[in-house]
Amino acid sequence: MNIGATDILGIGVIVLFIFCVILLIFTIRGMGKIKKMNLRYNKFMKDAVTGGNLDNVIDSLIDNDDALTIKTKEMSQQIANLKKTLTYCGQKISIVRYNAFADVGSDQSFSIALLDERDNGITITGIYARESSSIYAKPIEAGQSKYALSTEEIQALELAKKEYRERV
């Protein structure tokens, strides 16, 4: 069997035709991807900022970043001020109720401790009797008072400190 020049030429044309069809398929597919990418690009450029372009988007982002930086600094300062103020607020609070006199029923007497973060504050004691009631306030500095404290006032101070430690 002899293969002639025309047979080789025919096979070459068929191979060349198949190769061209494959190239055409890849070209059409590539054009579709390019068209899709162009649509996405144009939408991004048009819709990013109404009527704007990428430069306007970047400028807008930079302006927003600057504004957020300023706002963050302001908020940090406010937080620092709040922390400073909070050290002087009543954070350690407790109450102890008790019966001051045997002839009076119920725990109608009380001692309240109100302390800040540094254990400065006051104790307030109310003593109830059948004939009268008295209320006393004593200043507290660094957890101590220059006035003598009753057992119940000391108990209220210790309870306030203990409950604060457990909370924090």
Q: Which of helix, strand or coil describes residue 124?
A: strand
pLDDT at 9 over 70: yes
Least reliable range by pLDDT among 46-55, 63-72, 100-109: 46-55
Provide the 10 A C-beta neighbour count for residue 93. 15
pLDDT at 107 over 90: no
CA gap 134, 108 in Å, rounded: 12
**pTM over 0.85, yes/no:** no
pLDDT at 103 over 80: no
The DSSP letter of residue 102 is T
Residues of the chain with pLDDT > 90, as a percent, come to 53
